[in-house]
């Protein structure tokens, strides 16, 4: 009697398990017509690597050939000692050496804006668009906070395109030179990114 009961119990458990497995499988296969699970190899993704990029960023705010232009501000921007509310659009050259005439590697294109009322803290939203060598056409996206009077500022790299697909990492910015008369600055960037 006890033996039969055990057998029946096992059979019921087996049936339940089978039903559960099938329903789990069908749920996993349900792709709603627009998504599927893919192996990284199918996208040609091999081993993830870490790259270090080093270049100089030229923020030219003065003169005819300015590469950074103020596009918006608030009424209070003029009286705020941090210029709170100012929004600047940039297309800044990136070069291998501190001299603007040195070899170009790309442009920093995007926006920086004064986002702090108490210290000079910029919101940086920009893409590094590279034009040199194998990186030509690839981009890295920066979204971070830049306290420009700190020695080294760290900003997250939140993504990328081309050779930098799936990129993530950080950028260290250090002011190389600044002309306090014109506001023009040369900033050294060290960028560390994981990508494939
Ligand atoms: C602006 O760029 C042009 C063309 O590259 C150059 O000839 C000129 O000297 C530049 N002007 C200034 C003020 O740097
Ligand atoms: C980068 O790519 C563009 C478009 O394909 C091409 O016109 C340009 O000459 C390339 N630049 C370099 C430095 O290879």
Q: What is the DSSP string of 99-116?
A: STTSPEEEEEEEEEEE--
Residue 125 belongs to domain spanning: 48-195
* CA 93 to ligand 1 centroid distance, Å: 14
The answer to whether residues 6 and 80 belong to one domain is no
The answer to whether residues 81 and 155 belong to one domain is yes
- 43: in domain: no
pLDDT (tens, 9 = 90+) of the chain, 196 residues, equals 556 677 777 776 666 666 556 555 555 556 678 999 999 999 989 999 999 999 999 999 999 999 999 999 999 999 999 999 999 999 999 999 999 999 999 999 999 999 999 999 999 999 999 999 999 999 999 999 999 999 999 999 999 999 999 999 999 999 999 999 999 999 999 999 999 9
Q: Which residues line ligand 1 (CB under 6 A)?
A: 63-65
- Ligand 1: which atom is nearest the Cα of residue 63? 13
- 58: in domain: yes
The answer to whether residues 73 and 139 belong to one domain is yes
- 16: in domain: yes
| Rounded Cα gap, residues 113 and 111, in angstroms | 7
Q: Is-contact 140 158, C-beta < 8 A?
A: no
| Rounded Cα gap, residues 73 and 114, in angstroms | 9
* CA 132 to ligand 1 centroid distance, Å: 23
Q: Which residues line ligand 2 (CB under 6 A)?
A: 131-132, 136-137
* CA 65 to ligand 1 centroid distance, Å: 6
The answer to whether residues 17 and 81 belong to one domain is no
The answer to whether residues 20 and 111 belong to one domain is no
Look up the pTM and report it: 0.83
- 69: in domain: yes
Query: What pLDDT shows up at residue 62?
Result: 96
- Ligand closest to the CA atom of residue 129: 2
Domains in the chain: how many in total? Answer: 2
The answer to whether residues 107 and 186 belong to one domain is yes
The answer to whether residues 118 and 28 belong to one domain is no
């Amino acid at each position: 009697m006890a033996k039969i009961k055990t057998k029946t119990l096992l059979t019921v458990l087996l049936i339940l398990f089978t039903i559960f497995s099938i329903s789990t499988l069908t749920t996993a296969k349900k792709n709603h017509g627009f998504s599927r699970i893919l192996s990284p190899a199918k996208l040609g993704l091999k081993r993830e690597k870490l790259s270090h990029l080093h270049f100089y960023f030229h923020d030219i705010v003065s003169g005819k050939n300015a590469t950074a232009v103020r596009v918006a501000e608030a009424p209070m921007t003029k009286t705020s000692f941090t210029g709170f509310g100012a929004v600047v659009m940039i297309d800044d050259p990136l070069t291998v050496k501190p001299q603007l005439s040195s070899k170009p590697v790309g442009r920093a294109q995007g926006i920086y804006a004064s986002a702090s009322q108490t210290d000079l803290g910029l919101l940086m939203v920009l893409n590094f668009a590279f034009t040199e060598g194998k990186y030509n056409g690839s981009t890295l996206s920066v979204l971070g906070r830049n306290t420009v009077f700190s020695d080294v500022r760290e900003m997250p790299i939140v993504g990328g395109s081309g050779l930098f697909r799936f990129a993530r990492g950080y950028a260290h910015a250090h002011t190389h030179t600044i002309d306090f008369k014109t506001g023009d600055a040369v900033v050294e960037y060290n960028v560390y990114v994981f990508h494939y």
